[in-house]
Chain A
């Protein structure tokens, strides 16, 4: 998908405007202190307002811009796969353990983005998993989550 930079800029400006307002609203519920001795909510409130203001300025600027710029590539199936695989790895890491998570992560990534094919990706994922376990777990002594169903 190709999108004009100006549109991405505008979308980000709107997102940051909303974020700024939310920050200011949440900060307003915190103790403000006094102007001479500010409390925990004082700085976040100012920052929230400034974020919203700056984002609004960027939004207006991009709306008024005459040159929308060259469209850029935005999004790709590999990006969706990579982010989904990373989030899945984060969710599975302690639930199913290091070995199955790493093996599945590498298999999915290699099978989808490399030209290796399913079988060779499975073999490569197995080799990488063993190598990682030996290097990080045994050589470096990093505590890696065990498999809960392994004796």
Chain B
């Protein structure tokens, strides 16, 4: 009952005209960046982040969250019609989605994908609404030692689920933790790696780094291989699926919802991994597994539902623990901090407008996206016809203006450019920069909680193992390490990487 009262308050916030308008803009922009290959939710978020600075916190977060889940919807369109994933979470949709389009069934593929996205997205918001407040209540009792254990666990899970080589992920995590130490020491205010400049006393600007590592580097990668895309254009009439399509995809949508929701909690690339798992599960349970890859609708319904179902659950660690599960949510974390909203267990109590307004707006946003993605699919398809040679300078220009506007500091344009080049080289060497970004976000809090716990315990390191929550987190950490070792011994991991490389 209490939840419903809070939800009603959330709707009173989300239905304010300005919140509806900015929520719509977020969903629309999210769909556009999802559709366009080379732009994704992270780039979309970083591009519009500086434009939210003058907005009310709840309006800003509603708009940015709209971009996040809007991009998940948009990504499927490009996968189905062009066989290029609009964003990483739509890689699996390419396989059967494009085969369906080639056989003249682009309409049902798009329709089922949009319906699955809506079901997955809405179900995960219900999960967010039900699980986040009790978890927040539980986490209020967590002290610095348990917080350190939680951060350590998050970083370990990150390297566990990452599809690349674990040693490379580990290096990225370590680099991220090092970058997080730059600036004034949080306990003693001693300057660390500031190069004698006051400008670096707060460390390196996170938005500039994120924009460089993901936005600029993605554009640099795309500039290397500018190709004209061949688009299959569906008609509005052809969108209606047959009864058999609905019957075949309904169980896949159900399974995709559960898989996506569970994977959304896991730090790393959960939104991408969930689609791989969903596709594998659909193939495993199918009576005709040999037909996967030739245009099976379950191969579209499952992964597309799963990637949208991660959006709500990925918000739970972000809002309640302040831990961004995926790179895109780390930008949302930045946005919350910029707007003076400290994510953590107290967010439900201290910022009800932001928390419940966001939940209500996600219900509304999912309906907006369903409406946007079906009749307007032709319009979005036309966006793919804009040559990249015009799009790239425009996007870069917006990033330059955007990153400057954060602190009116031109050196942040230089930082963004350098990190863009670093991101490009890293990705060429098969290093995923996502763990680096997440480690930067977690590193600061990790160090503070460790040193605070040691100060409180008068330097007793055993404090890290005391308390029920610490034991739970460190127990989970030990279990994961054991599982990692066992998986390594069994060669499972190598097989998984080979499968994911083959599919992408």
Q: Which residues of A contact B (CB under 8 A)?
A: 3, 5, 8-9, 11-12, 16, 23, 26-27, 30-31, 34-41, 43-44, 47-48, 50-51, 54-55, 57-58, 61, 72-74, 76, 78-79, 82-83, 85-87, 89-91, 93-94, 102, 105-106, 109-110, 113-115, 128, 132, 136, 140-145
Q: Which residues of B contact A (CB under 8 A)?
A: 50-51, 54, 167-168, 170-171, 174-175, 177-178, 181, 185, 187-188, 190, 192-193, 216, 219-220, 223-225, 387, 389-390, 392-394, 396-397, 400-401, 404-405, 408, 410-414, 416-417, 420-421, 424-426, 428-431, 447, 450-451, 454-455, 458-461
What is the CA–CA distance of A75 and B412 in the complex, to the nearest angstrom? 24
Which A-chain residue is minimally distant from B190 (CB atoms)?
A40
Within 8 Å CB of B401, what residues of A? 102, 132, 136, 142, 144
> A93 contacts B393, CB within 8 Å?
no
What is the CA–CA distance of A8 and B413 in the complex, to the nearest angstrom? 26
Partner of A87, one of B170, B174, B414: B414
> A40 contacts B192, CB within 8 Å?
yes
Partner of B390, one of A11, A72, A114, A143: A114
Within 8 Å CB of A58, what residues of B? 167-168, 171
Within 8 Å CB of A114, what residues of B? 387, 389-390, 393
> A113 contacts B51, CB within 8 Å?
no
A-B contact pairs, 12 of them (CB 8 A): A5-B428, A9-B429, A9-B430, A30-B190, A35-B459, A37-B459, A39-B190, A40-B187, A57-B167, A82-B392, A86-B413, A114-B387
Question: What is the CB-to-nearest-CB distance from B146 to chain A, in angstroms, rounded to a whole number?
Answer: 19
What is the CA–CA distance of A53 and B297 in the complex, to the nearest angstrom? 48
Within 8 Å CB of A48, what residues of B? 178
Most chain A CB inside 10 Å of its own CB: which residue of B187, B413, B424, B425:
B413
With contact pairs A40-B187, A43-B447 given, residues A54 and B174 touching in the complex (Cβ less than 8 Å): yes
Q: Is the interface of B mostly helix, strand, loop or mixed?
A: helix
> B393 contacts A44, CB within 8 Å?
no
Question: What is the CB-to-nearest-CB distance from A42 to chain B, in angstroms, rounded to a whole number?
Answer: 9
Which B-chain residue is minimally distant from A42 (CB atoms)?
B451
Within 8 Å CB of B447, what residues of A? 43
